[in-house]
Amino acid sequence: MESYLRVAAELENLGAIRRFVQEAAAALETDPAVIPDVLLAVDEAATNIIIHGYRGRSGLVELEVSRADDALVIRLHDRATPFDPTEVPPPDLTLPLEQRPVGGMGIYLMQQLMDEVTYRTTPQGGNWLTMLKRGVFDLRASGA
Amino acid sequence: MEIVVSQEQGRVPVTVFRLKGDLTTDEPLYSQAQEAFKAGTHNLILDLTQVPYISSRGLRLLHNLYLLLRTDAPAESDAATRAGVLSGTFKSPHLKLLNPSKDALKVLSLAGYDMFLEIYHDLEEAVASF
């Protein structure tokens, strides 16, 4: 089973995106304890696409939520300027706040909250960000 | 985001912002804090009891509030702050948090903000800490 959402790339739609992922993950019987982490990671990924990808231009964000073995899989697709979040260096958490840049924590949070984050572009254009959260299904209960 | 502002009196005056809703954007909270700062507020408690969720944009807000309230007192100099961070003893003397949710606390911890911001679960205790 796969759930799909396509929305305009606007910050006002972040709530709708979170609700969609919450409902799709629940429908797959994802361990409820991990859903807050997943929602925040998706929120950060979508925010990044909207703010740093589209940069105020109109566009779409597409989301797919599915299951692969014991992992919840979230895929985000957009046609914004290519931007690989996995290449952004992590923040230096040992610095005082005065010496840290304001902002820039979203990608780091996304990578900390999920078990795997990968990015690719397609020859047709467009960016795919795939995030996995492993060990979130009861394999015995589902008979997998 | 709903904000209810109140004043408490401990050893020093303390402003309390009771927030309701997800902390996912700077505004209107930062503007309200700036107004309070201009009106003389130097010590702020953010009551997060009714904030289920903090995103990186909420962290950005906390970072900006921290910078807004920072003074040039010797105890808050770059050198003192850095030494305090390295030894794990530095906390903002002007910005404190009350009752963050489990999920909010996790985000604060992942971002390392719990190293800079004291977290309380009792308002009176938080007010008395200034």
Residue found under tokens 């105890």: B75
Is pLDDT of B99 > 60?
yes
DSSP letters, A82-121, are ---GGGSPPP-TTS-GGGSPSS--HHHHHHHHSSEEEEEE
Nearest Cβ partner of A103 from B25, B60, B107? B60
Using a CB–CB cutoff of 8 Å, tell me whether A102 touches chain B.
yes
The contact set of B with A (CB < 8 A) is 24-25, 53, 55-57, 59-60, 63-64, 66-67, 70, 78, 81-82, 85-86, 90, 103, 106-107, 110-113, 115-116
Per-residue model confidence as pLDDT tens digits over B108-125: 999 999 988 999 999 999
Judged by average pLDDT, the poorest of A22-26, B82-86, B118-122 is B82-86
CA-based R_g, chain A, Å:
16
Question: Mean pLDDT across chain A, nearest whole number?
Answer: 92
Judged by average pLDDT, the poorest of A4-18, A85-99, B41-55, B103-117 is A85-99
What distance in Å separates the CA atoms of residue A134 and residue A30, rounded to the nearest whole number? Answer: 10
Residues of chain A found within 8 Å of residue B101, distances taken between Cβ atoms: none
A-chain residue closest to B77, CA distance: A98
- Find which of A102, A110, A111, A112 to mutate to test the B interface (most B CBs within 10 Å of its CB): A102
Residue A58 CB coordination number (10 Å): 8
Residues of chain B found within 8 Å of residue A98, distances taken between Cβ atoms: 67, 70, 78, 81
| Confidence at residue B87, expressed as pLDDT on a 0 to 100 scale | 82
Question: Mean per-residue pLDDT for A9-27?
Answer: 96
Phi and psi at residue A77, to the nearest 5°: -125, 140
Instruction: Please check whether residue B98 is in contact with residue B47, taking contact to mean a CB–CB distance below 8 angstroms.
Output: yes
Inter-chain touch A102–B57, beta carbons under 8 Å? no
Instruction: Please give, rounded to a whole number of angstroms, the shortest distance from the CA of B71 to a CA of chain A.
Output: 12
Per-residue model confidence as pLDDT tens digits over B14-40: 999 999 998 988 788 999 999 999 999
- Find which of A18, A100, A105 to mutate to test the B interface (most B CBs within 10 Å of its CB): A105
Residues of chain A found within 8 Å of residue B107, distances taken between Cβ atoms: 40, 109
Is pLDDT of A144 > 70?
no
Instruction: Please give, rounded to a whole number of angstroms, the shortest distance from the CA of A139 to a CA of chain B.
Output: 26
- Name the percent of chain B lying above pLDDT 90: 73
Per-residue model confidence as pLDDT tens digits over A40-59: 999 999 999 999 899 989 99
Instruction: Please give, rounded to a whole number of angstroms, the shortest distance from the CA of A102 to a CA of chain B.
Output: 6
What distance in Å separates the CA atoms of residue B30 and residue A107, rounded to the nearest whole number? Answer: 23
Is pLDDT of A94 > 60?
yes
| Confidence at residue A142, expressed as pLDDT on a 0 to 100 scale | 58
What distance in Å separates the CA atoms of residue B97 and residue B111, rounded to the nearest whole number? Answer: 15
C-alpha pair distances (Å), A119 with each of A82, A129, B40, B48? 10, 5, 48, 35
Residue B88 CB coordination number (10 Å): 8
Pick from B67, B55, B63: which is nearest to B21 by CA? B55
Pick from A135, A94, A126, A133: which is nearest to A111 by CA? A133
Q: Which residues contact A77 (CB under 8 A, 6 or more apart)?
A: A61, A62, A63, A64, A126, A127, A128, A129
What pTM, to 2 d.p., does this model score? Answer: 0.89
Phi and psi at residue B45, to the nearest 5°: -110, 130
- CA B84 vs. chain centroid, Å, equals 18
| Confidence at residue A143, expressed as pLDDT on a 0 to 100 scale | 53
Inter-chain touch A43–B24, beta carbons under 8 Å? yes
Using a CB–CB cutoff of 8 Å, tell me whether A105 touches chain B.
yes
Look up residue B122 and give its amino acid.
D
Is pLDDT of A9 > 90?
yes
Inter-chain touch A106–B112, beta carbons under 8 Å? no
ipTM of this complex prediction, to 2 decimal places: 0.86
